Amino acid sequence: MKKLLACMLCVTMLSAVPVYAEEYSAVSEAIETNSAADSAAAEETEIDEAEADEAAPGVIEIATAEELAAVNEDLTADYVLTADIDLRGEEWTPLGAFAPSGETEEEQETPDPAVAFTGTFDGNGHTISNLTISQPVPWDIPTAPMSMT
C-alpha cells in the first residue's frame, strides 16, 4: 500500500510540472513587461523633474529676499521658490496678515481675503532660513527664528 501511494504521489507531482512551468513562463514574461514599463516610467520621471525646475506659466519665481518681500504686492498670485534664501539680518514684514473676516465664531477663524495670503507657494524643496519677525503680534504666535521648506 505504501508503494502504491508513493507511486501515485510521484505521478501526481510529475503531471504538475508542465503546469508550473507554464505559470513560471507567464510570470517571467510579466516581470519582463513590468521591468520595461518601469524603465520607461523612470525616464519620464527624469524629464518631469527637469521640467519641474521651470515654473509653470503664470507662476512667479522667487530666488532672493527682495523677490520674497515682493509677495506682499500680490497676495493672490502663485509663487515657486527657486533657490534657498537666508534672511539673517533682514528686518522682515510678514506676508499678508490675519484679520477675522467678520464677527461670528466661524468668521473669527476665517481670514479676510483682502489682507490674507490666498495664493499658492511651492517651496520646491528649497529653504527659507533665519526668518525673524520682530514686530509685536496680538496673537500667540511664536516669533523666534525659524526655517521652512
Per-residue pLDDT of the chain (149 residues; tens, 9 = 90+): 555 555 555 555 545 445 445 555 555 565 665 556 566 655 655 545 445 556 678 899 999 999 999 999 999 999 999 999 999 998 888 888 888 888 888 888 888 888 888 899 999 999 999 998 776 655 544 444 444 54
Amino acid at the residue 144: A
Pairing state of beta strands 128-131 and 146-148?
A: antiparallel
How far is it, in rounded angstroms, from Cα 120 to Cα 79? 6
Domain that holds residue 41: 1-52
Same domain for 66 and 27, yes or no, is no
* DSSP state letter for 75: T
Q: Taking the model in full, what pTM does it have? A: 0.52
Same domain for 88 and 113, yes or no, is yes
Q: Which of 52, 72, 91 is the C-terminal boundary of a domain?
A: 52
How far is it, in rounded angstroms, from Cα 127 to Cα 86? 8
Same domain for 80 and 126, yes or no, is yes
Contact 87, 128 (CB under 8 A): yes
Q: How many domains does the chain have?
A: 2
pLDDT value for 54: 62
pLDDT value for 50: 47
Same domain for 130 and 76, yes or no, is yes
> Which cell numbers hold the place of 33?
513587461
Any residues with CB less than 8 A from the CB of 136 and at least 6 apart, and which?
Answer: none
How far is it, in rounded angstroms, from Cα 60 to Cα 79? 5
pLDDT value for 101: 83
How far is it, in rounded angstroms, from Cα 6 to Cα 140? 81
